[in-house]
Amino acid sequence: MIYHRSVLLDESIAALEIRSGGTYVDATYGGGGHARAILDKLQGGRLIAFDQDETALMNRMDDQRLIMVNNNFRFLRNFLKLHHATPVDGILADLGISSHQIDQPERGFSTRFDGILDMRMDQKKKLTAREIVNHYSEEKLTGILSEYGEIRNARKLASRIMEARKIKPVETTGALKEIANTCVEHGREFKYQAQIFQALRIEVNQEMDALREFLRQAAQALKPGGRLVVISYHSLEDKLVKNYFRSGNFEGIVEKDFYGNALIPLKVITRKAIVPTDAEIDANNRSRSAKLRVAEKI
């Protein structure tokens, strides 16, 4: 069973330039769509796949070339070392949420369902969206909503959440949406709610810190000529990826040595991000915001 429709599948597999018998990493296994396509291209070799969500293990393919790691891709270096797999020929990361996660109301990822405010990708972690909404200070809530959700009236929203939780805990996605709708003009509710959910999900799963750690380790783990392929879904992720590919840091500023040589680990292959075709967006609306960037180890 593959429960996640893989975004930019053909484009990402082509970008990896898979070498027969090579070692590859799928940093975000999910429903296994990208992993299956990589294995179809490999003759021998092996694929090491990461996913912190235990439900992904139920979707594991029966293939002796596949090694599954039930952990966050921020631990890439450790597990590649454990499996004696460095350096690798290519790494793929699809930063989107699995359709399976979105479609489970009890996970609390989607604005479409009323469920408990959870949003943990790794169910073993303690921090949930419910904990954030009900226990973070107004100042901290404002910061998260502003930075991770890019919400302009974050302070107003945080204040409304504080008022509501004095009366009773805000425990469900539905309750949070009701509060949100008092802070946005009619007709913009869905986008506003999506921004809020994005902010909470990023905080719960520490997604930006994990992405930074992953990118640094991925660049180090690749063989010269190996490809790093990343699909992002919002501007915060894409900016980190774009800057790191271009400069080897997250500020996007290229540093040079004494002789004026650029100190960068990667060569950018995609000057402009690859985006889904109209046909793919029509077939899978969740792909509409995807951006694919490719870099190669120097």
The per-residue pLDDT for 1 is: 43
| Residue 122 lies inside a defined structural domain of this protein | yes
Residues 95 and 122 in one domain: no
pLDDT digits (tens, 9 = 90+) for 213-256: 999 999 999 999 999 999 999 999 999 999 999 999 999 999 99
Distance CA 196, CA 109 (A): 11
Which two structure tokens, joined as six digits, stand for 232? 């992002």
The per-residue pLDDT for 58 is: 82
Beta carbons within 8 Å of 26's beta carbon, 6+ residues apart:
34, 35, 38, 47, 48, 49, 50, 92
The per-residue pLDDT for 71 is: 96
Residues 71 and 213 in one domain: yes
CATH number at residue 237: 3.40.50.150
The per-residue pLDDT for 105 is: 56
Residues 184 and 241 in one domain: no
10 Å CB burial of residue 295 (0-12, 13-18, 19+) is buried
| Residue 94 lies inside a defined structural domain of this protein | yes
The per-residue pLDDT for 268 is: 98
Domain boundary among 165, 185, 205: 205
Residues 268 and 279 in one domain: yes
CATH number at residue 195: 1.10.150.170
Distance CA 136, CA 158 (A): 10
Tokens 């359709």 map to which residue?
99
| Residue 19 lies inside a defined structural domain of this protein | yes
What is the residue range of 80's domain? 9-100+207-297
| Residue 139 lies inside a defined structural domain of this protein | yes
Contact status, residue 92 vs residue 241, Cβ threshold 8 Å? no
Overall number of domains in the chain = 2
The per-residue pLDDT for 108 is: 60
User: Which among 206, 209, 215, 282 is positioned nearest to 248, based on CA atoms?
Assistant: 215
Residues counted in the chain:
298
The per-residue pLDDT for 103 is: 58
Domain boundary among 205, 237, 262: 205
Residues of the chain under the 50 pLDDT cut: 1-3
Residues 116 and 158 in one domain: yes
Which of left, alpha, beta for 242 (phi over 0: left; psi -120 to 50: alpha)? alpha
Partners of 26 in the beta sheet? 49, 92
Residues 30 and 53 in one domain: yes
